[in-house]
Amino acid sequence: MATYKTTSQIAAALGISRDEFQDLEKQPGFPAKENGEYSLDAIKTWLAGLAAAALDQAATLDQTGDPAAVAHEVPAELPPEQPPIRYITLQIPLCAAVPKHIERNSLGRVDVKFREQRYTAFCQLHAGLDRTNARMQDERPVSIPADVFRWVLDQIIEALSQDQTHDSRPSP
């Protein structure tokens, strides 16, 4: 049985945002934490119960023909089916000393126009960061496109702080 300690972890396991999960938690009958952890099986069972109740109410609507008869009883909206989150590993070459011509051209602002595949890749990254409730080093959520670049740079900074060799190269 899969269990998760944090709201972000269980939300990611369910394929929904943390905010969507917190809305679900407020619904009547939502499964309580067991030993301080969320049970994925208990939550999926509860969601299946909501879906079954919604189907029963839809059948009742078909029999009565009166939407007002069941509209007030419909449970909270279920989260939409979302594609899974994929994680990839990259090898990024970083120069230990920045040459002057690069430093002069990098004035702290980057304006980017994407074409098809790069735009799609950027949107997938942005959506993945949003769905996993990613945060930058300053704990702010990744919410706008510029934050995506900041988050990537934060990951590089973090990796460099943990790897003091700075000259390891991928094997051919």
Q: Read off the pLDDT band of 14 (50, 70, 90).
A: confident
Is a pLDDT exceeding 60 seen at residue 66? Answer: no
Which secondary-structure segment (H or E) carries 50?
helix 40-64
Domain boundaries, the chain: 3-71, 100-162
State the chain's mean pLDDT as an integer: 77
84 compared with 141, residue with greater pLDDT: 141
Q: Give the integer Cα–Cα distance in Å for 122 and 146.
A: 11
Residues 6+ apart with CB under 8 A from 14: 21, 40, 43, 44, 79
Is a pLDDT exceeding 70 seen at residue 16? Answer: yes
Phi-psi region of 65 (alpha: psi -120 to 50; beta: other; left: phi over 0): left
Is a pLDDT exceeding 60 seen at residue 136? Answer: yes
Average pLDDT over residues 22-26: 84
Q: Give the integer Cα–Cα distance in Å for 18 and 12.
A: 8
154 compared with 81, residue with greater pLDDT: 154
Q: Please report the pLDDT score of residue 138 as a whole number.
A: 93
Q: Which value, in Å, is the radius of gyration of the alpha carbons in the chain?
A: 23
105 compared with 127, residue with greater pLDDT: 127
Q: Give the integer Cα–Cα distance in Å for 105 and 86.
A: 34
pTM, entire model = 0.48
Is a pLDDT exceeding 80 seen at residue 73? Answer: no
